Structure 1
Amino acid sequence: MGELERVGSSLALDFEGPPVLATFLVDTSLSSAEYVSRIRAVLSAAIRSADEISTGSEFLPEGNVPDWFAEVTRGSVSVGRDDPATQGVRQYASRGGEEPFELQEWLFCFDPELRAWSWWDATQISDESVMLWVDSSGEPVFPCEELRWLAYVCGATAVEGPVLRAFSEWRQIASTRRRG
């Protein structure tokens, strides 16, 4: 199963994976189900756009990127707006990280030859908490600022990680959350 297919839905519990995955614990202002839906929609668009990199294009298509995400990554954060994307940009900036991303710059971060991680899954931990799982080839430290930006703009209020966890932990958490 390819990355784009994993973005589209949660994996079967009997799916085999790498021995360890990197995780990000995300607190969100949205319901965890809505948050995961937003992450999947934007990530799917980014991965599809990155396929254009191989054609030598200097401009990646933005048409599949949800409008609310494209708006804030173009610098259109209005003072006083209270939507989750705008709040996420503020949270990202307040944590003292990198400068906010421009949309084209962010899309080019998804070049599969340059990106140090690939999507694995998202599991709902509670009503307002989600665990993002990515394959970092077992590396505990890797470039992932584009993922952190995605997490915040999709509605995160806090993002902790990456933390390496055994693949069996993903299976256990995914199993528990699907029964509940």
Structure 2
Amino acid sequence: MTRYSLDQELIRTGERPSADPIHLLALLRVKPVISGSEYATRLRGLIQETLRICQRVDFEGDDVPTDSLPDWFLSVTDGTPATSHANSPESIGKSRYLAAREGEAWEAEEWIYCFDPDLRAWSWWDATEDDLGNVCLWVDTKGEGRIPCEELWWAVYAAGAEAVEPLTLEYSSEWAAQASIGG
């Protein structure tokens, strides 16, 4: 099993990675509207369930089910099991996404297809918190600084981000110096 397998990525969504990362990791620094720990737990849970779905489906032939995604996430997509309140973290995050990314809200089915392992240019590494209380979302992009990852931006905002700094490449030693949260 390599670090790029879905199985390894799924393990990393639930706990701090035990393997050494590559030299450079991509970083999204997030200012959440809720506590950093609560935010990281929400985002980890969303990515974790998405990866579980990816393990079960054939993206070439199957309709990809979205009903096991968290209710809070479905409430800001078209798969609404319950209506989200205007002041909920996901509603605030959706509004911030629409303003910051100048895009449209994603539909759950469209979003999950972007997790096709043959198409995705990033994999989850970890979530930590910096000295300023920002959540640091670490992803492995195989050292690439510019990758297509709008599905990641949607997840990051929908989990309750007020603001997100642009993706940067950082030395993995910065990740190693921070404690993981939300796992």
TM over 0.5: yes
Distance 1:49 1:98 in 2: 25
Distance 1:55 1:163 in 2: 30
Structure 2 matches for 1:55-94, cutoff 5 A?
Answer: 56-74=60-78, 81-94=86-99
**Structure 2 equivalent of residue 97 of structure 1:** 102
Deviation at residue 75 of structure 1 after TM alignment: 7.3
User: 3-state SS of the aligned residue for 1:40?
Assistant: helix
Aligned AA (1:91): R
In structure 1, runs of 5+ residues without a counterpart are none
**Structure 2 equivalent of residue 171 of structure 1:** 176
Distance 1:136 1:116 in 2: 6
CA RMSD of aligned residues (A): 2.3
Distance 1:75 1:128 in 2: 32
Distance 1:86 1:113 in 2: 31
Corresponding residue to 1:26 among 27, 30, 44: 30
**Structure 2 equivalent of residue 107 of structure 1:** 112
Q: 1:27 to 1:155 in 2, by over 3 A?
A: same
Structure 2 length-normalised TM:
0.86
Please identify, of 156-165 and 79-88, the stretch whose mean Cα deviation from structure 2 is larger.
79-88
Distance 2:12 2:107 in 1: 26
Please state if 1:47 is matched with 2:51: yes
The answer on whether the counterparts of 2:93 and 2:157 sit within 8 Å (CA) in structure 1 is yes
Please identify, of 109-118 and 80-89, the stretch whose mean Cα deviation from structure 2 is larger.
80-89
The answer on whether the counterparts of 1:26 and 1:158 sit within 8 Å (CA) in structure 2 is yes
Please identify, of 25-34 and 159-168, the stretch whose mean Cα deviation from structure 2 is larger.
159-168
Corresponding residue to 1:10 among 7, 10, 16: 16
Please identify, of 121-130 and 76-85, the stretch whose mean Cα deviation from structure 2 is larger.
76-85
User: 3-state SS of the aligned residue for 2:139?
Assistant: strand
Deviation at residue 62 of structure 1 after TM alignment: 1.9
Q: What count of residue pairs does the alignment treat as equivalent?
A: 174
Q: 1:102 to 1:170 in 2, by over 3 A?
A: same
The answer on whether the counterparts of 1:31 and 1:127 sit within 8 Å (CA) in structure 2 is no
Q: 1:144 to 1:93 in 2, by over 3 A?
A: same
User: 3-state SS of the aligned residue for 1:16?
Assistant: coil
Please identify, of 67-76 and 38-47, the stretch whose mean Cα deviation from structure 2 is larger.
67-76
Q: 1:75 to 1:159 in 2, by over 3 A?
A: farther
Aligned AA (1:151): V
Deviation at residue 161 of structure 1 after TM alignment: 2.2
